[in-house]
């Protein structure tokens, strides 16, 4: 009996999981286990022998059963401990911090403008910021002697002596993308071209680099009426209001005929800019019907096609919408300014989801 006891208590102590424990239990104290077999032998004993062996066997059975129970409890505890260690979580840690970078107002407004025009069937075209003077001027009906070249305060790229390549400029507007789009896409088309442009100019509302978005719609029957409707729809959607006063002023651009500049009603009272009220007007874009010579330069037959074009200052309309008083701050990389005027990096402007929320 001592033998049995030692063997089973030893096995129980060594058991690694509940399944092992169960097979020990069956072998030791199960119905057909060793202890049961011994119990059966009691019948062959003398009454005196039985009186000693009976209680001893029962005691052995109890001892093995309680060793099994204790071991089982220990295994359950150990399993729980292991799981707790595995799934440990420090609830005193800080919550994950918000991303610190923000979307620059110019990127935000570019996305907003794109979302609005995309809804009206315009796709996005792009062109190089360094372009030839042919794309930037000549193709747009601005010949070499034209005063518009001087007015634009153009940055010319340096040319080494003997360099015969066409002169390059930092594009002074996004209009050269009109020509490139005509060349590659042909008519009909409806595009906008957002991007950086450059002019030597610097004050509260002018910086040497700024941004424009060009619009161009060409078809057989496009008119100024389409231009006016598109711009009104755009301005309402962009400023997220039911109505905004627009002023179309007759103007002149070499690449459109007729031409109009468009102003938006605003006030500068107290140094803050407000849209839709007040007695001031801020020019936001130039526009008109694409000049036949420009269509021809882009390889489109002006006898079959006509269209409107506009060029709008992205930085301007960003200042207006978000009440930013000084354009120069856009490009100062001042972190305090960026945190104040920046936008949440995961919000995507859409017309149905809200442009600026
Ligand atoms: N390119 C003109 C500018 O920069 C704007 C414009 C674009 C005007 C298209 C008419 C048509 O001032």
Going from the Cα of 95 to the center of ligand 1, the distance in angstroms, rounded, reads 49
Question: Does one domain contain both 68 and 121?
Answer: no
Task: List the residue whose alpha carbon is closest to atom 9 of ligand 1.
Answer: 310
Question: Does one domain contain both 298 and 232?
Answer: yes
Task: List the residue whose alpha carbon is closest to atom 8 of ligand 1.
Answer: 286
The pLDDT value given to residue 255: 97
Q: Are β-strands 209-219 and 123-124 bridged in parallel, bridged antiparallel, or unpaired? A: unpaired
Question: What is the per-residue pLDDT across 108-161, written as a single tens digit (0 to 9) for each?
Answer: 999 999 999 999 999 999 999 999 999 999 999 998 888 777 767 899 999 889
Whether 357 is in a domain gets the answer no
Residue list for the binding site: 257
Would the pLDDT of 272 be above 80?
no
Question: Does one domain contain both 119 and 203?
Answer: yes
Q: pTM of the entire structure?
A: 0.71
Which one, of 60, 160, 143, 127, lies nearest residue 311 by Cα?
127
Q: Is 102 in the pocket of ligand 1 (CB under 6 A)?
A: no
258-281 mean pLDDT: 85
Question: What is the per-residue pLDDT across 32-84, written as a single tens digit (0 to 9) for each?
Answer: 888 888 888 888 888 888 888 889 889 999 999 999 999 999 999 999 999 99
Structure tokens at 100: 């610190």
Question: Does one domain contain both 53 and 109?
Answer: no
Q: How would residue 12 be classed by pLDDT, with cut points 50, 70 and 90?
A: very high
Task: List the single range of 24-28, 150-154, 194-198, 261-265 with lowest mean pLDDT.
Answer: 150-154
Question: Does one domain contain both 165 and 291?
Answer: yes
Domain count, the chain: 2
Q: Are β-strands 306-313 and 280-290 bridged in parallel, bridged antiparallel, or unpaired? A: antiparallel
Going from the Cα of 176 to the center of ligand 1, the distance in angstroms, rounded, reads 10
Q: Is 154 in the pocket of ligand 1 (CB under 6 A)?
A: no
88-102 mean pLDDT: 81
Going from the Cα of 10 to the center of ligand 1, the distance in angstroms, rounded, reads 94
Could you list the residue range(s) of the whole structural domain that residue 213 is in? 105-341
The pLDDT value given to residue 357: 61
Would the pLDDT of 352 be above 80?
no
Whether 220 is in a domain gets the answer yes
What would the DSSP string read from start to end of 287-335?
EEEEPHHHHHHTT--TTT-EEEEEEEEHHHHHHHHHT---GGGGGS--H
Whether 181 is in a domain gets the answer yes
Question: Does one domain contain both 7 and 133?
Answer: no
Question: Does one domain contain both 67 and 169?
Answer: no
Question: Does one domain contain both 82 and 227?
Answer: no
Whether 347 is in a domain gets the answer no
Mutation choice for ligand 1 from 137, 140, 173, 283, CB with most ligand atoms inside 8 A: 173
Question: Does one domain contain both 185 and 79?
Answer: no
Question: Does one domain contain both 261 and 160?
Answer: yes
Work out the mean pLDDT of the chain and round it to a whole number.
91
Whether 140 is in a domain gets the answer yes
Whether 95 is in a domain gets the answer no
Whether 355 is in a domain gets the answer no
CATH number, residue 166: 3.30.930.10
Whether 352 is in a domain gets the answer no
180-204 mean pLDDT: 95
The pLDDT value given to residue 330: 94
The pLDDT value given to residue 268: 78
* Separation of alpha carbons 113 and 116, rounded Å: 5
Mutation choice for ligand 1 from 255, 262, 289, 307, CB with most ligand atoms inside 8 A: 255
Going from the Cα of 350 to the center of ligand 1, the distance in angstroms, rounded, reads 26
Question: Does one domain contain both 63 and 173?
Answer: no
Question: Does one domain contain both 244 and 185?
Answer: yes
Going from the Cα of 273 to the center of ligand 1, the distance in angstroms, rounded, reads 24
162-180 mean pLDDT: 94
């Amino acid at each position: 009996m001592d033998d049995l006891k030692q063997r089973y208590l030893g096995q129980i102590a060594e058991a690694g999981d509940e399944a092992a424990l169960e097979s020990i239990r069956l072998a030791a104290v199960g119905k057909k286990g060793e202890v049961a077999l011994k119990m059966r032998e009691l019948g062959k004993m003398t009454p005196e022998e039985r009186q000693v062996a009976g209680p001893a066997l029962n005691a052995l059975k109890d001892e093995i059963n309680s060793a099994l129970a204790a071991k089982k409890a220990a295994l359950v505890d150990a399993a729980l401990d292991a799981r707790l260690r595995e799934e440990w979580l420090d609830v005193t840690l800080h919550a994950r911090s918000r991303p610190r970078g923000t979307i620059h107002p110019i990127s935000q407004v570019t996305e907003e403008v794109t979302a609005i025009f995309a809804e009206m069937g315009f796709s996005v075209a792009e062109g190089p910021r360094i372009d030839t003077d042919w794309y930037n001027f000549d193709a747009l009906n601005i010949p070499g002697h034209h005063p518009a070249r001087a007015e634009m305060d153009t940055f010319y790229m340096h040319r080494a002596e003997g360099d015969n390549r066409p002169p390059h400029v930092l594009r002074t507007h996004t209009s050269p993308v009109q020509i490139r789009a005509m060349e590659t896409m042909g008519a009909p088309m409806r595009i906008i071209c957002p991007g950086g442009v450059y002019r030597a100019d610097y004050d509260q509302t002018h910086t040497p680099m700024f941004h424009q978005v060009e619009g161009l719609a060409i078809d057989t029957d496009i008119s100024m009426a389409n231009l006016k409707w598109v711009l009104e729809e755009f301005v309402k959607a962009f400023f997220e209001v039911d109505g905004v006063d627009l002023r179309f002023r007759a103007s002149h651009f070499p690449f459109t005929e007729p031409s109009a500049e468009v102003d938006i009603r605003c006030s500068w009272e107290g140094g803050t800019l407000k849209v839709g009220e007040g007695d001031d007007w801020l020019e936001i874009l130039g526009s008109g019907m694409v000049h036949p010579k420009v269509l021809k330069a882009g390889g489109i037959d002006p006898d079959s096609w006509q269209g409107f074009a506009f060029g709008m200052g992205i930085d301007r309309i960003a200042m207006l919408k978000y009440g930013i008083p000084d354009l120069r701050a856009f490009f100062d990389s001042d972190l305090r300014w960026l945190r104040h005027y920046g936008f949440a990096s995961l919000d995507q402007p859409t017309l149905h989801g809200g442009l600026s929320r």
